[in-house]
Chains A and B, each alone.
Chain A
Amino acid sequence: DTAVSQTPKYLVTQMGNDKSIKCEQNLGHDTMYWYKQDSKKFLKIMFSYNNKELIINETVPNRFSPKSPDKAHLNLHINSLELGDSAVYFCASNRGQVNTEAFFGQGTRLTVV
């Protein structure tokens, strides 16, 4: 059973398009995250939800909008895609307690052409 699953794994799209990435976790965790990994492998937090409530909203363009329909799902919608959005996007989840680790999905490699 996959603990944190993301779809799609690969996404190639043209500039200006709108796309979504879906994430689901079956661990019963309360907290979910979106991270962006750039070409230099640097991981940057984008958003975090706890029980469907937004708790971290880092400085990202407002073209990026997270949505959490329930605590097991956290989707990422991106409007008007730009070349600089090309990256690997990781979803992660955590029990919410500070002394616990995060579990990561396999990543979605987004390529904007």
Chain B
Amino acid sequence: AQSVTQLDSQVPVFEEAPVELRCNYSSSVSVYLFWYVQYPNQGLQLLLKYLSGSTLVKGINGFEAEFNKSQTSFHLRKPSVHISDTAEYFCAVRTNTGNQFYFGTGTSLTVIP
């Protein structure tokens, strides 16, 4: 069975400071990894994805994430956050054999002016 753990349910950070949102997964087969962002009262929007190749992937809005197979992690980072980054962030995995996406419980990022 697959599972996704987002250890931090809430992350407050000051504007222009760096941020890291943590994601760990558990799977017995190969996975594809995704980060989604949900702004208030909106649907989920893809930030970035890791499918294969380089373990450092860059996404929209200046976010990047690094896939670490040995630590089964896919942490999301941004070097300098903006007020508009305040949102809920979800890590998700999909196996190379399954049909569904498994989501973490989400991390609420609040950027403080």
**A-B pair number, CB within 8 angstroms:** 55
The interface-forming segment of B16-24, B40-48, B62-70, B71-79 is B40-48
| Residue of B49, B98, B100 contacting most chain A CB atoms (<10 Å) | B100
- A50 near B99 (CB under 8 angstroms)? yes
B73 to chain A, nearest CB (A): 19
| A102 and B101 contact, Cβ closer than 8 Å, known pairs A41-B88, A41-B106, A43-B90 | yes
Q: Give the CA-CA distance A107 to B95 in the complex, in Å.
A: 25
Q: Give the CA-CA distance A41 to B51 in the complex, in Å.
A: 26
With beta carbons under 8 angstroms apart, the residue of B43, B100, B108 that contacts A104 is: B43
Q: Give the CA-CA distance A33 to B103 in the complex, in Å.
A: 14
A80 to chain B, nearest CB (A): 27
B residues with a Cβ closer than 8 A to A are 32, 34, 36, 38, 41-46, 49, 51-52, 88, 90, 94-101, 103, 105-106, 108
